[in-house]
Structure 1
Amino acid sequence: MSQTSKLAPGHADPVSGPNAVDPGDYYRQICHVPIPDQTGAKRPKIYGYAEPRICTPPLRALTPDTTLGYDVIEFAREALGVDLYPWQKVLLCRMLELLPDGSLRFRTAVVLIARQNGKSTLSQVLALWFMIVWGWPLVMGTAQDLETAEEVWQGAVDLVEEDEELSKLLKRVVKVNGKKALELNPQESQGKAGKKTGPRYKVKAANRRAGRGFTGNLIMLDELREHQNWEAWGAITKTTMAQAEALILALSNAGDMTSIVLQYLRKMAHDGVGDPDGICEEIGAAGPTALDVADLVEGDDDELDDDELAEFEQDEDTLGLWEWSATPGCDKRDRQGWAQANPSLNWNSGFTERTIAAACRTDPEWVFRTEVLCQWSEGTLLGPFPPGSWDKGKNPVIVLGDGSKGVAEEHRIVPGSPVWAGIDQSHDRSMTYVAFGGYRPDGKAQVEIVAGRNGSDWVKDWLMDETPKPGQPSRRSRIKAIAGQSKGAPISPLMESLAEDEKFTIPVTEWSGSDLTSGWADVFDSVRDVTVFHNPQPPLDTAAATAVVKVFSGGASIPDHRASPAEIAPLMAFTAAKWLMGRRVKAPPPPPPPPEAVKTSDTDYSADDIARQGF
């Protein structure tokens, strides 16, 4: 039988396409396993595709001299006793491509693939190879759920402990919760100035504290789709900044509108290969903005300089993407689409078409498409608003005169004009957001998030800032009133404090009870009818796509902090600002006229009149 793999219809052949480079016959022989002979089968099996549907093409033919992948494949088979699936071999060869100087081509590797296809095994093999063969000092595994990261780590520990030769390399295994680590004995080539520190594999939860204080070489982030802000990414990936050789490996299935980090990386990578799925036309999901990064850098200045923002930008030349996903628009019953997104299909005896067919029949469509076909939901079927209405009110992003991206002047609140401020705090009290509501040059209402920072100590001084802006009045002089939930919310103590502070001169408006639900009803109607506009802002867009609404017995409703899967404080600040804009302050009634003397002859009470008065 030929050693060349049989490519199913529609399969992304590595030697086809405008951006592809022939990876070489050696690559095909090692990575492509021939499809088993199925002559006479009633229904021939469909096997998962070895090659990703979309990927960053290699710079040259992939041989043992141009990629480390073959070495890892041999290590898995000979040292670990693991025979990798074809797709895993393909990924290793492509992902560990070398530049002519012998250094790794990629520093950030994004792998998109449907669930249950073998990502954990790949991570374990890669971690142990970098520790044992290349001697990288620190491998760090993370996941939004710490238990997930620990499961992958435990698999690597088992591979070492169960092998007689590998176990000789073992120094110790730390199994203390929160400090789990696999430590190997130091090798002669390791350590500085006689330091006897061997390679370590540690696990951390993906949060804003993960990795701080460490210098990592291989960082593995599982389920990057769950990163709904830049905090964990900023904390974890910056551990590699001082390393000449490092790799950030992000593994995930498809995300949705809330997957801010993954969406950004995927769009950059797609743009680099010609935007095959047409996802780069809308620039709404841009990279980290000043608002995203403000809490991740030191200093209290309002403005972040270009260098601080640049630390979080992704270098296109060192970003690689390998995506196994079904072609957009395919029927969910299309079995070729199943094979595109599930490269382990039928290569694993327990992972068959029957398994996928069962999920296809029982899962809601977008659950099946996301989890099994690795297709992206843009979030239009989710959230508290009618499908598509939130996006209709989103201002378009354009390229400005200086080359940066932003919105046109006609889509901004009139500079220097009055604004009404809404404030809310995250459920865990870690972040406070401020929204400004105002009017655009066309007279239409607009609300936008203008600040988001850690804690709440900064809010008073920020709102009361009397410093004039270039060509504009000060922030304080523009703000007509502020509002935030007055009772029973994380922000309530701050609102009470501001209201009682004699030095805080901005009117603080009570917002509680029926005013809360009427404020939300107004926002719902305004978004549905597209009478309020907003800029593309990931924290706000995420909240608007995922907020879970609590409905009261009388039918009134309000977004629920506790029940919502993502932070909704930006949306609540938005709601408070919009409510203030529409609130009409009733003028006090005029005083009654002074009493006048009335003559007895001017009155005429009849029995009927008295009866009607209820006497």
Structure 2
Amino acid sequence: MTTTSETWRPPTEFAEDLRERYGLECPPLWGTPRNPDRPSLGPKLWKVMTKLGAPPMPWQKYVTDVALELDPDTGVFVHREAGLSVSRQQGKTELILGLQVHRAMAWHRQNIVYAAQDRNMARQRWEDEFWEKISDSDLAKRARIRKSNGNEKILWPATRSRMGITANTESAGHGPPLDLGIIDEAFKHEDDRLEQAFSPAMTTRAMAQLWWASAGGTTKSVWLNKKRAIGRALIQEAWKTGVWPAVAYFEWFAPEDMPRDDPATWYATLPALGHTVTEAVIAAELAKMDPAEFDRAYLNRTRKPTPPSDPNVPKTKWPGLVDKTSKANGDVAFAIDVSQDRSRAAIAAACRRPDGKVHLEVVAYRPGTDWVVPAMAKLHRLWKPVAVAVAASGAPASSLIDDLVAAGIDVPKDKAKPERGDLAVMRSGDIIEACGQMADAMNQGTARHIDQVPLTAAVNGARTRRNGDAWTLDRTSSLTEVSPFAAATFARWALIIRGPHVLDDYDIADSFA
């Protein structure tokens, strides 16, 4: 049994085109494709990057070639905005520098403004990285620097263009019209003040572009998280409709079901790996960094707050129960659970292993509820389970009971003598009993699981509420959607409660060994 994944994937021809066109073996999960019917200034920018001592890598060629496409009829940029979400140490700084220098050298009187976390960080990068690389390159004789506080500029006398910096304030970008605005380290920006300041200054400039770039942030990275969500939605919709917006978007990202310690994950997520970054370096970073920070910096995931401990759910025991070789056998019990808002549902399985431990597994976890009854009916035919558990007592999944019965999964005719495959409709007392039993199994080490992301996330984010002197899982206060954990808990209960009735060789004591 395996968990159903809902992760977005672009069409295979997208990756094939990038490989053929740029030699890019690590395509983004979300990316605007190159339109070969349009000319592009990308190759000219590549020459500038080479002059600056950083010949472009395949991923940098792809991003700039697409972002600098020109409308063949008007000669202006197709994309007024370009968003770049890529992990640390991938060459983002070299791309941003090349972008600015190309702009300053290609057109006259260009006003280019760069912003980072704050003005101090922008100046540090502008002086210690941008100017240092320019002054050490073949382009040094074409530029000069002005370092006076508040009026920092890298000037290009031949074109009378200038590269400046700004602070992260509402007044940033006010003044002369803006030709190129760059918002770097976007994960540090908690609102859209810079975008709101830059955009009006670009309205009169036909070739103006706004670029933003960042590795993953945290839940406080409101602006970045919004831009990433918009970018993903635009790309997915454009692949459906064939209509591409005037916003170019590129994001390399490792979904949660890709293990952080697997080099295959790194090669699918880090486009500079094998070029300027080595596998050994990433392995060293993994060894020394907090896992959540490694995920943010190198897998481009959003770092979430560490869930507070719940005194009733022994989640610290959960990692010690992992056995990736564990698998279901023929004597399996299933359970169904539905999220409070009915946006997702889970089917989980539990079965007793030869060593007496109980194997737990999420069989399916998908959006909506319309798929649940057909999927459960198919599993019922294939596995002839011990039981199928569904919580009643006002639980969200209780609405599926009548449909399950109509699909041939019956309620026991005689409650004292249930038959194999019958529904196990759980009342309030049963749910309390199931939750207590699961906590005991975790504490006593009698459960085993294969470390599935939805189930582990549900365990880590689960919260509980009191019910008399006992407790149950609380969907409202839990920090994550807990239906995978609830389904696993109920499946284990169904196995233990129904097993003695329908399995001749069932020894309940083995489940507590």
Matching residue of 1:96 = 68
Matching residue of 1:327 = 255
* Range that drifts further, 339-348 or 124-133: 339-348
Aligned length, in residue pairs: 314
Q: Are the counterparts in 2 of residues 24 and 61 from structure 1 also a CA contact under 8 Å?
A: no
C-alpha distance in 1, partners of 2:290/2:252?
Answer: 21
Per the TM alignment, residue 139 of structure 1 is displaced from its structure 2 partner at its CA by 0.8
C-alpha distance in 2, partners of 1:14/1:86?
Answer: 19
Matching residue of 1:368 = 294
Per the TM alignment, residue 131 of structure 1 is displaced from its structure 2 partner at its CA by 0.5
Per the TM alignment, residue 127 of structure 1 is displaced from its structure 2 partner at its CA by 0.5
RMSD of equivalent CA atoms: 3.9
Matching residue of 2:281 = 355
Q: Is 1:105 matched with 2:78?
A: yes
How does 1:261-280 map onto structure 2 within 5 Å? 261-274=223-236
Per the TM alignment, residue 222 of structure 1 is displaced from its structure 2 partner at its CA by 0.7
Q: Is 1:251 matched with 2:213?
A: yes
Per the TM alignment, residue 385 of structure 1 is displaced from its structure 2 partner at its CA by 11
Per the TM alignment, residue 212 of structure 1 is displaced from its structure 2 partner at its CA by 1.8
Any idea what SS the aligned residue of 2:256 has? coil
Judged with a 3 Å threshold, the aligned counterparts in structure 2 of structure 1 residues 233 and 384 are, in CA distance, closer, same or farther, namely: farther
Q: Are the counterparts in 2 of residues 141 and 203 from structure 1 also a CA contact under 8 Å?
A: yes
Q: Is 1:16 matched with 2:6?
A: no
C-alpha distance in 1, partners of 2:133/2:199?
Answer: 27
Matching residue of 1:185 = 157
C-alpha distance in 1, partners of 2:257/2:342?
Answer: 27
Any idea what SS the aligned residue of 1:205 has? coil
Q: Are the counterparts in 1 of residues 187 and 217 from structure 2 also a CA contact under 8 Å?
A: yes
Amino acid at match of 2:30: I
Judged with a 3 Å threshold, the aligned counterparts in structure 2 of structure 1 residues 384 and 212 are, in CA distance, closer, same or farther, namely: farther
Judged with a 3 Å threshold, the aligned counterparts in structure 2 of structure 1 residues 134 and 264 are, in CA distance, closer, same or farther, namely: same
Q: Is 1:128 matched with 2:101?
A: yes
Q: 1:51 aligns with which of 19, 27, 30?
A: 27
Per the TM alignment, residue 382 of structure 1 is displaced from its structure 2 partner at its CA by 5.9
Per the TM alignment, residue 163 of structure 1 is displaced from its structure 2 partner at its CA by 4.3
Judged with a 3 Å threshold, the aligned counterparts in structure 2 of structure 1 residues 393 and 230 are, in CA distance, closer, same or farther, namely: farther
C-alpha distance in 1, partners of 2:308/2:68?
Answer: 40
Q: Are the counterparts in 2 of residues 15 and 23 from structure 1 also a CA contact under 8 Å?
A: no
C-alpha distance in 2, partners of 1:228/1:14?
Answer: 30
C-alpha distance in 1, partners of 2:307/2:147?
Answer: 40
Q: 2:268 aligns with which of 340, 355, 359?
A: 340
C-alpha distance in 2, partners of 1:137/1:531?
Answer: 54
C-alpha distance in 1, partners of 2:173/2:58?
Answer: 33
Judged with a 3 Å threshold, the aligned counterparts in structure 2 of structure 1 residues 173 and 393 are, in CA distance, closer, same or farther, namely: farther
- When normalised by structure 1's length, the TM-score is 0.45
Any idea what SS the aligned residue of 2:114 has? strand
Judged with a 3 Å threshold, the aligned counterparts in structure 2 of structure 1 residues 66 and 328 are, in CA distance, closer, same or farther, namely: farther
How does 1:175-574 map onto structure 2 within 5 Å? 175-187=147-159, 198-274=160-236, 317-348=245-276, 351-377=277-303, 379=304, 381=306
> Hey, which of these two has a bigger chunk of helix by percent?
2
Amino acid at match of 1:128: V
Q: Are the counterparts in 1 of residues 66 and 248 from structure 2 also a CA contact under 8 Å?
A: no
Higher relative contact order (CA 8 A, sep 6+): 2
Per the TM alignment, residue 264 of structure 1 is displaced from its structure 2 partner at its CA by 1.8
Any idea what SS the aligned residue of 2:232 has? helix
C-alpha distance in 2, partners of 1:530/1:237?
Answer: 42
Per the TM alignment, residue 161 of structure 1 is displaced from its structure 2 partner at its CA by 3.1
Per the TM alignment, residue 97 of structure 1 is displaced from its structure 2 partner at its CA by 1.9
Q: Is 1:169 matched with 2:142?
A: yes
Matching residue of 2:387 = none
C-alpha distance in 2, partners of 1:175/1:124?
Answer: 18
C-alpha distance in 2, partners of 1:57/1:258?
Answer: 30
Matching residue of 2:23 = 32
Q: 1:61 aligns with which of 21, 30, 36?
A: 36
C-alpha distance in 1, partners of 2:307/2:153?
Answer: 39
C-alpha distance in 1, partners of 2:269/2:112?
Answer: 28
Q: Deviations over 1:453-474 (max 9, x none)?
A: xxxxxxxxxxxxxxxxxxxxxx
Q: Are the counterparts in 1 of residues 146 and 153 from structure 2 also a CA contact under 8 Å?
A: yes
Q: Deviations over 1:41-100 (max 9, x none)?
A: xxxxxxxx4532321223x227xx6211111112322x4343222221121112212223
Q: Are the counterparts in 2 of residues 50 and 86 from structure 1 also a CA contact under 8 Å?
A: no
Judged with a 3 Å threshold, the aligned counterparts in structure 2 of structure 1 residues 337 and 134 are, in CA distance, closer, same or farther, namely: farther
| Runs of 5+ consecutive residues of structure 2 not aligned to the other structure | 1-7, 314-338, 344-464, 466-472, 478-513
Amino acid at match of 1:32: G
Matching residue of 1:409 = none
Judged with a 3 Å threshold, the aligned counterparts in structure 2 of structure 1 residues 395 and 234 are, in CA distance, closer, same or farther, namely: farther
Matching residue of 1:436 = none
Any idea what SS the aligned residue of 1:317 has? coil
Amino acid at match of 1:222: D
Per the TM alignment, residue 144 of structure 1 is displaced from its structure 2 partner at its CA by 1.4
